[in-house]
Structure 1
Amino acid sequence: MHKSRIRILAAALFLFIVAFKWADEDFTKMISEKLLRYRQAFPIEKAYLHTDKPYYMTGDTLWYNAFLVEGALHNPDSASNLLYVDLIDQRSGKNFALRRTYLTGGVGNGEIILADSIPPGSYSLRAYTNWMRNAPESFFFHKDIQVFDPAGSMPAAATGKVDLQFFPEGGALVAEIATRIAFKAVNASGKGEDVAGFIMDQNNDTVASFKSEHLGMGRFQFAAKSGASYTAFLKEKSGSVMKYEFPKVNETGYTLVVDNTSNPLKTRIIAYAKVPDKAEVPVNIVGHSRGIVAFVAKGKISGRGLMMNIPNTDLPDGITHLTLFNEENRPVSERLIFIDHNHSLRVRIAPSKAAYKQREQAEIEIAVSDTAGKPVETHLSVSITDAGQIQQQVHDQNIVSYLLLSSDLKGFVEQPGYYFDDTQTERKMHRDFLMMTQGWSRFKWDEVLRDSLEAPKYYLEQGITFAGEARRNKRPAEKTALSIYVSTDSLSNFLTAETDEKGQFALYNLIFEDSLKVRVQGMGKKGNQNLNFSIFPQEIPRIAPSQNPYFPLTVDAKLLNDFLTRNAQDQEISRKIRANRERLLQEVTIKAKKQVQRDPRKIYGNADASIKVTPELAAGRTSVLDILAGRVAGVSVTGFGMNARVSIRGNQNEPQFVLDGMPVDKDFIASMNVNDVESIDVLKGASAAIFGMNGGNGVISILTKRGNSNYDYTQDIVPGVLVSKIAGFNVPKVFYAPAYSPKDPPNLNPDYRSTIFWAPMVKTDKNGKAKIRYFNSDATTSVDVRVEALSTSGSPGFAKSTYSVN
């Protein structure tokens, strides 16, 4: 789908290079091919979750909508169809929930019930695919979630020394080259800390001072002297001074100074170098965005440096990675810049009224268009919350800030929405501080430039994987054919597999909900009962517990108290309603003739003959056919075991064999364990007509104990047979939204929902519009409406609005 866009970018790049003659064709080709090869071998996937609110109470339900995109162009058609969503306790690293979310076109939804057994505290909501595990865990989607108990217990404020780090522009501090130093100060809770301090040299002379401007970040000019060493000092609020390390001074090296904030139309790049015995140093500068080359330029660094201007129109929205290569084609300096053409979707939220009454039906129209004003058919999710209970976080993460910014930076980005808020006049400068202090590390250049790439460890998943191992006499049962019977409440099927040289087997891309019953046994003629099977458990990526869990919320005390009080009241009402329903059901007496449920494995009616297999009947028999011999009139069984031959009514050809409703061959039936058989049905003549031509010689239907939906899987294990259940995709629940009528008695049950409405799978029409309707609660309050959208072309969109309930 996005190959055409890549070709357009490649064509534009070619014209750009030819017009300016900035780089040698060989170097440009080498870098472009290396990046393309790496991107094809390790394509990036990004996951994002939109939740209904930022914090919850035990017993509450966390609702989420999931987006999965291809990482370079953000198209929501990534290859994976299975997204894992889990909830990690930041203190212990324990996983309290795991959801398997099925994605269609890169979109899915689900929920996590926060049971009373979940301890209150700070959690990380995490989303990832199996393929994403080839990258560091830090590139999974993470969202900090706070879960309160009814008492509203708050974690103690973290204390400790401020973490202060300095980042020379371009990566290195080179002697006698004037540059800029960015810095970032973070407190023990993980938030930016406003700081001020100074720099002293080895002679204890103050050579520079610094003061943060935004969330603990700032920047200052600095020129290091040859042979000098420096130390940073931080002035604390108490009046004391703390000592910190300052970057080491290199006598030789390269650096970059970049300005893309002064002029919105172009980015100025200045490269400096200090190389022994060289007055001019040939270099190449590569700019790429998410692995796609944007430009390649060539020049020579003189004593005054090398300056070039790059038109911003040639750079895509988001982060562009600038890398300086020396004459040996080795990366020696790097710098990140952010380009904002404001190409995100335009999302407009229009309530039908500025104010509603309690329990009145609200109607909201959502219109989505592109930057040219053309309507966009797209997917979006909508969260509507009571602002009297839920305090939306200042400049919180949204799909725009995540895809264009946070997902391509390492580490936690505080208040990411700030950098996209048009009302913040200093946001571009502060965003550049962020580019200098939090580097991009999805790959390392030495990995990209090597001649061969290692094969990825984790594969793409388009469904559930069932994998295990077979052993015979404690050794791997290699190259052994297996039959695998799978069934749900409504479907069943026979599959085959073969073990590899390690005795391992797997079924990939299974699509089923809730759970799947599985029976595995060997298909060989000998030694099936000597097989021992084991299932590989679900491997869940671990996360290290945080020594100082980050408390992500800023919540007014009264508002939090109202949320906890009303949430507890709502949960209590729900419990009483359920209890009343249970009592009512216990008092109901239903009289009717008992209906015998039809066995779904039988597509036929009554069999002409049926044998109930008891332990006594199976004793001493090595084959199902041995049980059949001599027990049904008209059925002839000659021979023994695997060599037996069966005929019905003297037919020269053998009958059709059916196992739990699925046609199989005789050898498979003959190899079955007789203790696994529940009954044998024989169909002759007209009774077998339902099987068509295949039933012309009669039908023998084998029904197994494990194929019966009422079978108890805790029964004794049959030798050589594995019986188990595996978890499938979680079935998303529907958000309950009450419907009120003017005739309803007032306040029959108080309604103070914190999440008033949640609509995760909304689609706009050809006019780019969608309407949602729901009923407000009993609260006299302001209502927050938040919409997140993603187009099929990869453009994200976000909008928020409010209305009042009087």
Structure 2
Amino acid sequence: MNFKKYILALSVLITFLHLSASAQRDTMSLKTIITLTNKFTHEHPYEKVYMHLDKPYYTVGDTIWFKAYVTIGIHQPSDLSKILYVDIVSARDTFVQAVKLQIVNGTATGSIPLTQPLYKQGNYHLSAYTNWMRNFDPAYFFNKTITIGNPVDNQVITSTSFSGSNKNKQQKITARIQFKDPTGTPYANKKVSWTINNDDDKPLKGKETTDASGFATINIAAGKIPVLASNSLFTTIDLGNRKQANNIFPLRSAVAEADIQFFPEGGSLLTGVRSKVAFKAVSPNGLGADVKGTITDNTGAVAAEFKSQHLGMGNFVFTPEEGKTYKANITFANGSQTVTDLPSIQASGINLAVYNTNADTLSLKITANSAYFQQNQNKVVYIMAQSNGFVLYAAQTVLRSPVFSATIAKSKFPTGVLQVTLFDVSGTPLSERVVFIQRNDMLDLGLTSAAKTYGTRQQVKMQVNAKNKTVPTEAGLSVSVIDETKVPFNEDAETTILTSLLLSSDLKGYIEKPNYYFKKIDATTAADLDVLMLTQGYRRFLYSNILNNKIPGINFLPEQSMEITGTLRNATGMPIAKGNIRLQIPDRYYSTQTTTNMSGEFKFSKLIIPDSSKVILNARNNVNANNLMIMVNGTSLQGISPNFNYPDEVMNIDSTLAPSMKNTQRRYNNSHTLKEVQIVEKVYVKKPGYQDFSALTGLNFPDHSITGDRLKDCPNFAMCLQTMLMGITFDASLNNYYITRDYNQGQKSSPVAIFFNGMQVDYSYIAGLTSPDIESVEVFLNDGVSGINRRDNTKGVIEITTKVIPKGTKVTQDQLAQLFPPKYIATLMPKGFNVSREFYSPKYAGPATAISRPDLRTTIYWNTHLITDKTTGTTAFDFFTADDKGTYKAVVEGMDADGNIGRSVYRFTVK
């Protein structure tokens, strides 16, 4: 879809409106509103990222194969940014891995091996973004929950359910957990100890015993400090023979309560105006909950009845009467009931309603109640509609009657979220409605194969057809083929190029089962999608901010290449102008040189640095080089954002992912070899710690400790530390740590004191530390009798201790030089581009033999570089099936140069 035609059409429309409104003396003209909106879009263009993954979930040992599509405007391939960042965070908000990729023609490809011990069984949060996107809300990054299972050496299979309540300010939680061995036999009569660290000095803990069916029932009665949604339940089951197994269960669904919200169409309920009211009911796990109920007024009379139609959402209509208040009487599917007030009713106001049932037109209805109409009769109001930041329709009318209706042709708008807003003459938004435009303007993709049934290890040839309407087009595509029998998944819950670029990237908040609205488009799904638009109350585009000049600051510039910048100074700190700096990347046999400017600053651009490569900066080729020092500028890191799609987390991974887990176990058994075991005498070696430093004398035993082995796989020490310190909260705006209890009460005057090897430092110092060098991190919630906090007006102590080089180790002259390099040389290892591996697709000459190694692949084929012919719109690919029989699912996604996006699914059988 070419958005340039929409800008051209808009310019004609603006000219017409300007001429028709030339006699008006408005506070803010419609043209001004359009001009300010377009100026904002031009200066703050929105980039979007979508990642096509080969599978919906994985097991440890798998590889995540992906292709990222980066767009701008109305789905144009972006040329604004050339670097993509992909972060993976655990369910406990611990940073796990960062990937950096080069964007070429709006796409980037990569792979993430899920190796042990970096990845364990659990739910992970994957987010993808460009540096430019960091100027906006992280909710609009590409966000996806990834579930990873691990059946190998898993001694305990668990199944869990939670229930919770808050009565009389007393919180009660019940966890019912079943423990089984890998064969499915219950662990009966086993001791289970449990702990909940709830930011208190004394965590909740207890012991239970499993029954004959392997169930342990844990009743948790929280004390003065309640259990929070961020807390987890830690269990340890005693398996006998000195064997134990640990499990972690997030308590988010146990702590939360069922909730319902009401959303009047247009934003407000008005006295005397018949209004549509949408509602959304959510269960404790964050998913939609079926409800029914009635609306009653203050006399007890029933004004309306309602019942959810899809995923806890629905709507009803009623007319609020003057002088009355209204309550909703709700009954949930489990029989529980609650009563809540409806949103307040305005005595004077005007409302916008949009009817989206006609295939070709939108119907608009503006209704002013009696009080508003009397005050504003014959005044002008504006209507504007925008999509992806582009104003595509604008008009004005005079309030000559309380009700005004109009129709707009849908051909003015592309498929996607459309924001329709009603303004008064001062530019104040009065009412707003979000609708979804569904037109036949997607990239038409088709997948076909020579047959619908194949044998094992048989070649499959497939053809792709791409059309823009009826015309063949050149499109860049990615395709995955998986064994759906091993990786079953609810197709309604899939994240696709359509759900991401057309829906979730424009609406803030969790969208449950987004592919339901695109898989089969009919009257029912269209009605359910319209209810979603009514209840998804947050969108990225706010006119009130734009028209009041509340423009977000630009703190992060678009990246066209990888850069290294810094300053060359002499021993006194003065910058050196016209100094020579040489950059070397030994791994790539690459070398280049630049000259500093008059402020001593240097910059190396257009660099391609592979990840884990060493970069050497050298200022030796300068006069008096021994007195020069190179200071390299650091790079800011994106903080860990919450998982907005947490309801997609799988609680009972073992049972939910059973077919995939079983296949992984088979694959492991077929390749398993016993490792040689050597038994050696263990000699106790004292570990370095706070006792080694006189400055920390007087501290008691640490309240919490983090050992170095927990940090060794952490790619960024400072970022990981923010999420691993129990009872400690990090404030990014102040770059300080605080005792969590004090911080939650607003006490920010006394940060935690930070020590590094007994020397007091600040956060900027530890930001430069590397994880492999750390021996331990010790946390003290008070300073004992050391006097540290009283002296420095701090509260609590963090001691970071590095590893000690064993005495007697010989150091070579080169190693010594590396420990004390001259200041005119700077050696660094910047985060470089990750190199994607090539997907292996085997080729077979015939069926499997008795000595053949079993082919147990779940991802059968993956290709990110399919390009259709511009004349015929076709391309082809081929692959071989694996050894297991079942249903294979092929998915092709992508876009053409005009921004038309598309997706197609094709299934065939292997017998």
Alignment TM-score, normalising by the size of structure 2: 0.68
Question: Which of 327, 339, 348 matches 1:243?
Answer: 339
Question: Which of 320, 323, 339 matches 2:418?
Answer: 320
Q: Check the 8 A contact 1:497/1:505 in 2, yes or no.
A: yes
Q: Deviation at 1:419?
A: 1.6
Is 1:397 the counterpart of 2:501 in the alignment?
no
Question: Which of 898, 902, 907 matches 1:793?
Answer: 898
**1:304-341: per-residue Cα shift (whole Å, max 9, x none)?**
32222212222222121111111222112111111111
Other structure's SS at 1:783 match: strand
Q: Relative to structure 2, which stretch is displaced further, 4-13 or 717-726?
A: 4-13
Counterpart-to-counterpart distance in 1, 2:574 and 2:309: 63
- Alignment CA distance shift 1:116-1:27 (3 Å): same
Q: Deviation at 1:422?
A: 3.5
Other structure's SS at 2:663 match: helix
**1:93-120: per-residue Cα shift (whole Å, max 9, x none)?**
1221211121211112111111222122
- Equivalent AA in structure 1 for residue 120 of structure 2: P
Counterpart-to-counterpart distance in 1, 2:861 and 2:647: 29
Is 1:531 the counterpart of 2:532 in the alignment?
no
Counterpart-to-counterpart distance in 1, 2:552 and 2:641: 25
- Alignment CA distance shift 1:575-1:476 (3 Å): farther
Q: Check the 8 A contact 2:616/2:825 in 1, yes or no.
A: no
Structure 2 counterpart of 1:770: 875
Other structure's SS at 1:426 match: helix
Q: Check the 8 A contact 2:381/2:399 in 1, yes or no.
A: yes
Is 1:780 the counterpart of 2:782 in the alignment?
no
Structure 2 counterpart of 1:567: 664
Structure 2 counterpart of 1:282: 380
Q: Check the 8 A contact 2:617/2:826 in 1, yes or no.
A: yes
Q: Check the 8 A contact 2:568/2:579 in 1, yes or no.
A: no
Q: Relative to structure 2, which stretch is displaced further, 452-461 or 246-255?
A: 452-461
Q: Deviation at 1:259?
A: 0.6
- Alignment CA distance shift 1:453-1:208 (3 Å): closer
Q: Deviation at 1:27?
A: 2.7
Is 1:375 the counterpart of 2:461 in the alignment?
no
Is 1:163 the counterpart of 2:259 in the alignment?
yes
Q: Check the 8 A contact 1:59/1:571 in 2, yes or no.
A: no
- Alignment CA distance shift 1:423-1:258 (3 Å): closer
Structure 2 counterpart of 1:496: 594
Q: Relative to structure 2, which stretch is displaced further, 553-562 or 133-142?
A: 553-562
Other structure's SS at 1:277 match: helix
Structure 1 counterpart of 2:683: none
- Alignment CA distance shift 1:717-1:297 (3 Å): same
Q: Structure 1 stretches of 5 or more lacking a match?
A: 581-709
Structure 2 counterpart of 1:603: none
Q: Relative to structure 2, which stretch is displaced further, 262-271 or 284-293?
A: 262-271
Structure 1 counterpart of 2:246: none
Q: Deviation at 1:544?
A: 3.0
Structure 1 counterpart of 2:123: 122
- Alignment CA distance shift 1:198-1:532 (3 Å): same
Q: Structure 2 stretches of 5 or more lacking a match?
A: 163-252, 677-813
Other structure's SS at 2:505 match: helix
Q: Relative to structure 2, which stretch is displaced further, 175-184 or 535-544?
A: 535-544
Counterpart-to-counterpart distance in 1, 2:557 and 2:543: 23
Question: Which of 439, 458, 472 matches 1:360?
Answer: 458
Q: Deviation at 1:194?
A: 1.1
Q: Check the 8 A contact 1:189/1:551 in 2, yes or no.
A: no
Counterpart-to-counterpart distance in 2, 1:263 and 1:73: 21
Structure 2 counterpart of 1:459: 557
Q: Deviation at 1:420?
A: 2.1
Q: Deviation at 1:6?
A: 4.8
Q: Deviation at 1:192?
A: 1.3
Question: Which of 364, 375, 394 matches 1:268?
Answer: 364
Q: Give percent identity, aligned residues only.
A: 28
Counterpart-to-counterpart distance in 2, 1:555 and 1:734: 33
Counterpart-to-counterpart distance in 2, 1:555 and 1:367: 40
Structure 2 counterpart of 1:738: 842
Q: How does 1:125-274 map to 2 (within 5 A)?
A: 125-150=126-151, 151=154, 156=161, 158-159=253-254, 160-262=256-358, 264-272=360-368, 274=371
Q: Check the 8 A contact 2:354/2:362 in 1, yes or no.
A: no
Structure 2 counterpart of 1:726: 830
Q: Deviation at 1:154?
A: 6.0
Other structure's SS at 1:343 match: coil
Structure 1 counterpart of 2:50: 48
Q: Deviation at 1:538?
A: 5.0
- Alignment CA distance shift 1:572-1:62 (3 Å): farther
Q: Deviation at 1:474?
A: 8.6
Counterpart-to-counterpart distance in 2, 1:130 and 1:451: 23
**1:550-602: per-residue Cα shift (whole Å, max 9, x none)?**
2456999888333212223324556769x99xxxxxxxxxxxxxxxxxxxxxx
Q: Deviation at 1:38?
A: 0.5
Counterpart-to-counterpart distance in 1, 2:485 and 2:53: 18
Q: Check the 8 A contact 1:50/1:398 in 2, yes or no.
A: yes
Q: Check the 8 A contact 1:280/1:301 in 2, yes or no.
A: yes
Counterpart-to-counterpart distance in 1, 2:95 and 2:450: 43
Larger Rg: 1
Q: Check the 8 A contact 2:509/2:538 in 1, yes or no.
A: no
Q: Relative to structure 2, which stretch is displaced further, 377-386 or 112-121?
A: 112-121
- Equivalent AA in structure 2 for residue 86 of structure 1: D
Structure 2 counterpart of 1:601: none
Q: How does 1:516-527 map to 2 (within 5 A)?
A: 516-521=614-619, 525=623
Other structure's SS at 1:258 match: strand
Q: Relative to structure 2, which stretch is displaced further, 420-429 or 179-188?
A: 420-429
Structure 1 counterpart of 2:537: 439
- Equivalent AA in structure 2 for residue 115 of structure 1: T
- Alignment CA distance shift 1:468-1:234 (3 Å): farther
Counterpart-to-counterpart distance in 1, 2:142 and 2:518: 20
- Equivalent AA in structure 1 for residue 122 of structure 2: G
Is 1:550 the counterpart of 2:647 in the alignment?
yes
Q: Deviation at 1:428?
A: 1.3
Structure 2 counterpart of 1:425: 523
- Equivalent AA in structure 2 for residue 223 of structure 1: T
Other structure's SS at 2:32 match: helix
Q: Check the 8 A contact 1:521/1:528 in 2, yes or no.
A: no
Q: Deviation at 1:444?
A: 2.1
What RMSD, in angstroms, separates the aligned Cα atoms of the two structures? 3.3
- Equivalent AA in structure 1 for residue 93 of structure 2: G
Q: Check the 8 A contact 2:265/2:433 in 1, yes or no.
A: yes
- Alignment CA distance shift 1:6-1:528 (3 Å): farther
Q: Relative to structure 2, which stretch is displaced further, 508-517 or 250-259?
A: 508-517
Counterpart-to-counterpart distance in 1, 2:278 and 2:5: 36
- Equivalent AA in structure 2 for residue 316 of structure 1: P
Q: Deviation at 1:421?
A: 3.2
Counterpart-to-counterpart distance in 1, 2:423 and 2:289: 35
Structure 2 counterpart of 1:511: 608
Alignment TM-score, normalising by the size of structure 1: 0.77
Other structure's SS at 2:528 match: helix
- Alignment CA distance shift 1:556-1:765 (3 Å): farther
Counterpart-to-counterpart distance in 2, 1:12 and 1:132: 31
Counterpart-to-counterpart distance in 1, 2:556 and 2:877: 40
Question: Which of 38, 41, 44 matches 1:39?
Answer: 41
Q: How does 1:4-15 map to 2 (within 5 A)?
A: 4-11=4-11, 13-14=13-14
Other structure's SS at 2:263 match: strand
Q: Deviation at 1:87?
A: 1.4
- Alignment CA distance shift 1:375-1:262 (3 Å): closer
Q: Deviation at 1:74?
A: 0.7
- Equivalent AA in structure 2 for residue 31 of structure 1: I
Other structure's SS at 1:124 match: strand
Structure 2 counterpart of 1:310: 408
Q: Deviation at 1:409?
A: 0.9
Counterpart-to-counterpart distance in 1, 2:34 and 2:587: 52
